[in-house]
Structure 1
Amino acid sequence: MAEPAGFPARRAALRMLDAVLRRGETLDGAAGAGKGLPGPDAALARAIAGEALRWLVDCDALIDSATRQILPDDAKVRTVLRMMLVQALRLETAPHAVIATGLPLLAGGPRRLAHGVFSTLMKRGVSLPDFPTLPETVVARWGVERAAKIASGLAEPPPLDLTLRDPAETDLWADRLEATIIAPGILRLSRGRAVEGLPGYTDGAWWIQDLAASIPATLLGRGEGRRVLDLCAAPGGKTLQLAAAGWQVTALDISARRLERLKRNLARTGLTAEIIQIDAFQWHPEAQFDAVLLDAPCTATGTCRRHPDVLHRITDNHVAEMAGMQQSLLDRASGWLGPDGRLVYAVCSLEEAEGAGQAEQAMLTPHPITADELPCGLQPDANGWLRTDPGMLPEIGGLDGFFVARFRA
């Protein structure tokens, strides 16, 4: 019997969700389940999986309201129902198409149960809340008030931000790309545009980088030929920023695969940097640097707008493990600063232990961030640290969560 149209995309989405929820893989890593699908089908599979993760708690509440007995969290029928609900309630897929492509996922299983639960909920005219409900474990880490604020920025996948190689051309590229200017040298585009086909991509006039991710490098100012170490540099947006700002950049990272992406972007933009592939804990520089940018490995919970899997994968153990590594990296990098050198520490994490917890232990003199250095009306806190989260700047479409602190030798 022939598979219904659209079924392969749903099968791939189910495999992605299984990889994330049962095996703890990242959604990016699980996207290989869509390998071999036509582009639109692969994109649909990713969208279904992503929305199911974004709205998981709320979908589960709807499912539980329509069953006599609570289904196990890892039951296949629950995962299929999550997919069916987000297609109907978020992706505006017709209910008959949801049923036709969803029930075959349960071949030999409880199709009648899935059909009954889905049909019951559709007859009730159910809907999802304005903002996703976060898992209890996440709320416990972030606090009720802060978690609610962050959740307010998670209802939609984020727009696309571009950093320009030459900020002086901001108006020019905003016009050519039909984009919104959100800061000098930073443009915002609506989702769904094929990046490689946009004007300026081939010429290397810009690269993809969220507004929040662009801030740490700007806090080191103009390079004027001075030496900077971009530690844990790949995939390289900050390396490109520093090179474009006139720094002599050494970009170090342990991942050869991720550094290949950086090399391609350097070639595309015509910018230059020294690339070193090595474990930072095994490296001994021959000379000190005028500045260090440490965008440290982290749990990446600040990227939950675009990577909702982090809401379900990350545990207290992950946070503690990353915090230990970050402290060691920060201590090591502090010794590589020359006299009057500057160090910027950043993480795309919303976890206190990875942000303020590290800044408080740093063996360097604080160099507070000031409001006039920040875009879009963002403000540093009383310590001169910057904290951003997805609930901020809703008027322009939000931004990722980051913690940034600056020090001097």
Structure 2
Amino acid sequence: MSDTEPAGVATRRAAMRLLDAVLRQGLPLEAALGSATAELERADDRAFAHAIAGEVLRRLPDLDALIDSATTKRLPGDAKARFALRVALAQALALGTAPHAAIATVLPLMDGGPRRLVHGVFGAVMRGETKLPDPPGLPKAISKRWRKAWGAGAADAARHAIAAPPPIDLSLRDPAATMEWVEKLGGMSLAPGHVRLARGGTVSELPGYAKGEWWVQDIAASLPARVLGKGEGRAALDLCAAPGGKTMQLAAAGWTVTATDLSETRLERLRENLARAHLSAEVRQADVMGETPEPIFDAVLLDAPCSATGIFRRHPDVLHRVTDRAIAALADQQAAMLRQAASWVKPGGTLVYAVCSLEPAEGEGVADGFAVEREFTRDPIQTEELPEGIIPGAAGRVRVLPGALGDVGGADGFFVARFRKSN
């Protein structure tokens, strides 16, 4: 930032860098956050840049429609002027920034560019007393794909789900203390070991955080470990385990856990989470596809790397980064990982496969392909194993769609299948 640059411009520059990283480079928003906001010294400025970028991504189709309605010649999708207008309009129409501040802090970013065009388009939109649609629209490719896969109801529910960040779900170290923590935290519970809180406040300042009584984990993400039940000292392998929510669930449920992940950085976070929760597991860096199947375990959980389209409520950038080609490649990778994971299961043992994806190719497609394995049979998940309001499908698998738990704040999109190895 120069000495003559108006206050707030650097924050909007960082927001534009974040959007460029997601929309042009295909990077996850969180992965780009550090470098894009490096020039911002204050934490609140970094947070605001993140909020602006997130709101643009949450409402991108609607913002672009407004921009296009006010231009005689369509701006290219990667034009700097379009990025600047997205940032200004998202602030003025969704984040409560005064219109004059929203435009004044992006115009300096147009040095050498069409400042008059940006100012004129912004003014034309704002003079029309325009409001953004409620709920927001989905990207056309996403809407088409989800309507085909899940029907118009699920796609419309996804629009409502993306309208605002979701509530906060906590998994408890001691499920027997569920109602105690509901009362202490002022939340609600949908299952033993679960508390749901309204969004707001600082999580690390809540009662029980410092002592590791609970950890943040969307209720859908808790399902794969939940359907493994009590461990009673048996051995479980948690693959692709970081940052450790499922590892902690399994350890708290009495499993002797081995947790592996490819990323040593993410494993460091897993170790920190285990230490805070006063839980133990053997933690080691490993590539699922590079390991030899020894030793073998009573239970193996594979929450596989995926498109992550199921977590669009909290990470709207996934809707703008994932392509059909990427989904197909990920499904092939997941199928290979599931076959490898199966080699670690003892005779009579359990294998759970899960993805936080809303793409049937990554969930049902991979599970259906694996279901023909001779050594394994489907092990249907029962309603009583699941939180209130989530029920298994006809095949005994769990598919959490947009709209699930909608009356109490919703849930991430998820798929879970369970298999049993023959004796």
The two structures have a TM-score, normalised by structure 1, of 0.97
The number of aligned residues is 409
Q: Residue 366 of structure 1 aligns to which amino acid in structure 2?
A: R
Quote the residue 2:309 is aligned against: 301
Q: Determine helix, strand or coil for the equivalent of 1:181.
A: coil
Shift of 1:30: 1.2
Quote the residue 2:160 is aligned against: 152
Q: Determine helix, strand or coil for the equivalent of 2:161.
A: coil
Quote the residue 2:37 is aligned against: 34
Quote the residue 1:201 is aligned against: 209
**Candidates 355, 373, 376, aligned match of 2:388:** 376
1: CA distance between counterparts of 2:258 and 2:303? 14
Q: Does 1:166 align with 2:174?
A: yes
Shift of 1:285: 4.1
In the TM superposition, 1:185-264 aligns within 5 A as 185-264=193-272
1: CA distance between counterparts of 2:79 and 2:317? 18
1: CA distance between counterparts of 2:316 and 2:158? 12
Say whether the 8 Å CA contact 1:55–1:132 is kept in structure 2: yes
Q: Deviations over 1:176-199 (max 9, x none)?
A: 223332332212223332222222
Shift of 1:141: 2.5
Quote the residue 1:57 is aligned against: 61
2: CA distance between counterparts of 1:125 and 1:43? 28
Q: Does 1:142 align with 2:146?
A: yes
Q: Residue 54 of structure 2 aligns to which amino acid in structure 1?
A: G
Q: Residue 5 of structure 2 aligns to which amino acid in structure 1?
A: E
Say whether the 8 Å CA contact 2:294–2:344 is kept in structure 1: no
2: CA distance between counterparts of 1:53 and 1:287? 45
**Candidates 377, 395, 398, aligned match of 2:407:** 395
Q: Deviations over 1:103-125 (max 9, x none)?
A: 12212211111111111111111
Q: Residue 192 of structure 1 aligns to which amino acid in structure 2?
A: G
1: CA distance between counterparts of 2:217 and 2:255? 19
Q: Does 1:267 align with 2:270?
A: no
Say whether the 8 Å CA contact 2:389–2:404 is kept in structure 1: no
Q: Does 1:366 align with 2:378?
A: yes
In the TM superposition, 1:96-135 aligns within 5 A as 96-135=100-139
In the TM superposition, 1:285-364 aligns within 5 A as 285-362=293-370, 363=373, 364=376
CA RMSD of aligned residues (A): 1.4
Moved more, 397-406 or 192-201: 192-201
Say whether the 8 Å CA contact 2:311–2:356 is kept in structure 1: yes
Shift of 1:38: 1.2
Q: Residue 32 of structure 2 aligns to which amino acid in structure 1?
A: A
Say whether the 8 Å CA contact 2:304–2:354 is kept in structure 1: yes
Q: Residue 165 of structure 1 aligns to which amino acid in structure 2?
A: R
Shift of 1:406: 0.7
Q: Deviations over 1:345-370 (max 9, x none)?
A: 10000111100001101122001112
Q: List runs of 5+ in structure 2 lacking aligned partners.
A: none
Q: Determine helix, strand or coil for the equivalent of 2:105.
A: helix
Identity fraction in percent: 58
1: CA distance between counterparts of 2:157 and 2:204? 34
The two structures have a TM-score, normalised by structure 2, of 0.94
2: CA distance between counterparts of 1:155 and 1:325? 32
2: CA distance between counterparts of 1:124 and 1:114? 16
2: CA distance between counterparts of 1:37 and 1:339? 56
Quote the residue 1:8 is aligned against: 10
Q: Determine helix, strand or coil for the equivalent of 1:329.
A: helix
Q: List runs of 5+ in structure 1 lacking aligned partners.
A: none
Shift of 1:391: 2.6
Moved more, 90-99 or 168-177: 168-177
